Structure 1
Amino acid sequence: MSPMIPVQPMSLEVLTHDAYRQLEHAASLKGLLKPFKGKRELEHLAQVAREIEAQLCHLMTAVVQQTGQPPYSLLGIRLVLQNTSAGSTFLRWRSRDFSRMGVAVWERQISNNALLQAVREGLHRFERDRIALNLQMSVVHSLYSQATTCAIKMDSAERLLRQFTTAVEVSP
């Protein structure tokens, strides 16, 4: 890596308010804070959470693509999508050779005195976006998991009630 990176960074406008506009409508808490009457409502909530996860993943991909452009692509770090065993996706910093991972990789790069201030500020913006998107993904994935689990429990409770009601009706 050369001591100074001469390329000026491109505009960092991936995560504008417009990028989030569609998510804002889908993610209204109004639909969450209500009495759920059955399994179907919880399954719908889980489906909405899955759709929001897909939209967040799209935003994450856009950030990763932007970090893959010069001057950031010339640095010793990469921002990558990491899929978890739980089925969600998070943004992670990795060294160029993939030997190290985590925020320490980003900290080391941003602390490089040879880095142009504009590049340092761009990396800071990417880190802010990474933190926010990971938080949002974590919350939405947790909502999906909880809604799915609660739908199963609701179904089980409804089946037990039907079973008991049928048994009582059959009894003489």
Structure 2
Amino acid sequence: MNPLTSAQQMPFETLTQDAYRQLEHAASLKGLLKPFKGKGELEHLAQMAREIEAQLCDLMEAVVQQAGQPPYSLLDIRLVLQNTSAGSTFLRWRTRDFARMGVSVWERQVCNKAVPQVVREGLRRFECNRIALNLQMSVVHSLYRQATTCAIKMDSAERLLRQFTTAVEISR
């Protein structure tokens, strides 16, 4: 029996709503769309974004583990986690020898006639999960960076006002 055809016996576990349930409660735009009174609220928002990033990483790890199981582990590609210099993590396709990276690596496998249709379908589902998780990570990481930057700016504005107020009171 061709080991690649064993995908028919191994059900593909998609990321269901249950996998996202914990994230759903933590990530509410309601907390974003309000007037922020100071840097503390923005720091709290940044902390929430960091926690959501960690949860997204857990989901990404689950997808990577599943993509590392037979029959997918028998292919010439790997789904891997890549940490960026900006401090976030993304899912990337790589060749087994790590010589190439990107969607073209995935496309080559999906278009390979030697790969059974059921395996190609599994690869498509992995790619859809990869796309969605990378989008979510990008948005949440951007929110983190923006909240952190805004907290610094608010702190600077508050500090400048205090300094000016102190200088005015001293000069009286």
Q: 1: CA distance between counterparts of 2:17 and 2:5?
A: 30
Unmatched tracts of structure 1, length 5 or more: none
Opposite residue 26 of structure 1, the aligned amino acid is: A
The structure with the greater share of residues assigned to helix is 2
Residue of structure 1 equivalent to 2:94: 94
Residue of structure 2 equivalent to 1:57: 57
Q: Percent identity?
A: 81
SS at match of 2:25: helix
Unmatched tracts of structure 2, length 5 or more: none
Q: 2: CA distance between counterparts of 1:37 and 1:140?
A: 22
The aligned runs of 1:22-33 (5 Å cut-off) are 22-33=22-33
TM-score by length of 2: 0.96
- Is the CA contact (8 Å cut-off) linking 2:14 and 2:125 kept in structure 1? no
Residue of structure 2 equivalent to 1:114: 114
Q: 2: CA distance between counterparts of 1:136 and 1:161?
A: 37
Q: 2: CA distance between counterparts of 1:76 and 1:37?
A: 53
Residues 14-73 of structure 1: CA distance to partner in whole angstroms, max 9, x if unpaired? Answer: 411000011011110000000001010000000000000000000000000000000000
RMSD: 1.4
Residue of structure 1 equivalent to 2:153: 153
SS at match of 2:33: coil
The aligned runs of 1:1-172 (5 Å cut-off) are 5-9=4-8, 10-172=10-172
- Is the CA contact (8 Å cut-off) linking 1:46 and 1:147 kept in structure 2? yes
